[in-house]
Amino acid sequence: MHLTAETRLNAILDGTGAGTWEYNLDTGEIIFNERWATMLGYTLEELSPLSFQTWEKLSHPTDIESANQALTAYLSGDAHQFECVVRMLHKDGDWRYIHTRGTLFNNDQTAESRWLMGTHLDVTEEKVSQHQLQQLAESLPGVIYTFTLNKDGSFLFPYMSRKAKDFYGVTPAETRTHPERMFEAIHPEDVARVHETIELSRKTLREWVCEYRIMKDGQTRWLRGVSQPERNPDGSTTWHGVITDIDDQKRLEFQLEALTITDELTGLYNRRYLLRKLEELAEQSARYDHPFSLLSLDIDFFKSVNDSWGHLTGDKVLRKVASLIETRTRKTDIVARTGGEEFIVLMPHTTLSDARHVAESLRIGMETESFLSDDDTPFNVTLSAGVVCWSRHISRVRELLSACDQLLYQAKRAGRNQVVVSKIGAEKS
């Protein structure tokens, strides 16, 4: 059976539910099909006589202006198609969102031959869903987004909620035209990790979860991204997720961590943290054969300081010793207060010879330091130290700590205010 082009076109229009319109730009004549009227709850007969004013009366005033702007852009060649969304009044009193598309038809050069023809399609449900999503995005304390990574490495953000501006300083429109700006806001130290976690999620299709910092207006804040990936037929991967601000949470975590790993009086690390870092360093040194040294320091006759001048003065001495050690060691060294008047310095990539020089510097620095009691009585304190360097001959870090303590006791027994050095195994250079 042969179907005419008109029959096929009507079947297609019936299937899509679209209304059609034809408008002569020169004469003002306008033609609507029956479905166009049905879409708004009317019959064509109810709307007769039909004219351009029929459309105007049913359209929202604000949207008429935007539709005219879209038409002007199309007729001037700035847009390849006439397209806009106009709210139109349904017979039941509701506003319906009508998606308008049209194209210019001109089959000859005679006057009154310019016809603009197109379709109207009711997209109210879609618009309502978009509005609900936008309202949801506004109510959530985060950025809702969709991110697509193509096989060639290019990427885009098909959807981005307005809060991207608050979080990243980038508007949703900018993320569509310049998606790289979302990554440019990430702290340089975290960029590689963000990309690594995205790639892992792409390969495994497991949930992407990443905590990272962003820089905005000279300030650094912590964000947490969570999204679920799905593979697209063309091989690209799309994530749908949310980004939340966890800056307050991270700051609290850091504060709590600081409380658990630092000594409250001196601000140095505590014994628990030192042991953890010592285990890590010993494992690295065993693998790569890098030397590290350990200094055990103790204030001589500290009990007499407390007995003579009181605990407040004793605390001042402890803080002064802590400050001296921090000043004369490197930022990479781990300085800890491990007991009442006991301190340990963990020195990565340090030979015994270098560690001995540091210990002597600390001993001499303390020997020349002057203190004042609460009644302004001057007094001095000294340090004793034991120094040991890691060796493959030591199987456990506890043995290294014990060896260092024994050297400290030797310094005490030998008269105090001195450094005793020993080494298990061959010297590293």
> pLDDT (tens digit, 9 = 90+) per residue, 201-227?
999 999 999 999 999 988 999 999 999
- Quote the radius of gyration of the chain (alpha carbons, Å): 38
> pLDDT (tens digit, 9 = 90+) per residue, 140-162?
678 989 999 999 999 999 999 88
| DSSP tag of 349 | T
- Its CATH architecture, for the domain 262-421, is 2-Layer Sandwich (3.30)
HSE-CB at 98 with a 13 A cutoff on CA atoms is 32
Helix boundaries (H) for 289-396: 302-309, 311-327, 352-367
Beta strand spans in 6-94 (E):
19-24, 30-32, 82-89
Q: Do domains 5-128 and 140-251 have the same CATH topology?
A: yes
Residues 6+ apart with CB under 8 A from 232: 148, 238
Task: Kindly report the length of the chain.
Answer: 429
Positive or negative CA dihedral for 328, 334, 338, 344? negative
> Quick one: how many helices (H) and strands (E) in the chain?
16, 17
| DSSP tag of 262 | B
Structure tokens given for 113: 């031959």
What's the CATH class of domain 140-251?
alpha beta
Q: How many CB atoms lie within 10 A of CB 352?
A: 20
The amino acid occupying position 352 is: L
According to CATH, the topology of domain 5-128 is: Beta-Lactamase (3.30.450)
CB 357 within 8 Å of CB 296: no
- Measured CA to CA, the distance from residue 192 to residue 216 in angstroms comes to 19
Residues 6+ apart with CB under 8 A from 244: 141, 142, 143, 223, 224, 226
Domain ranges of the chain: 5-128, 140-251, 262-421
The tens place of each residue's pLDDT in the chain, 429 residues long, gives 555 656 665 655 565 668 889 999 888 899 998 889 999 999 999 999 999 999 999 999 999 999 999 999 999 988 888 999 999 999 999 999 999 999 988 766 555 678 899 999 988 888 777 666 666 656 667 898 999 999 999 999 999 988 899 999 999 999 999 999 999 999 999 999 999 999 999 999 999 999 999 999 889 999 999 999 999 999 999 999 999 999 998 888 888 887 888 998 999 999 999 999 999 998 888 888 888 999 999 999 999 999 988 999 999 999 999 999 999 999 999 999 998 999 999 999 999 999 999 999 999 999 999 888 888 889 999 999 999 998 777 768 888 899 999 999 999 999 999 999 985 543 433
Where do we find the tokens 């005219």? 68
Nearest to 293 by CA among 408, 401, 396: 401
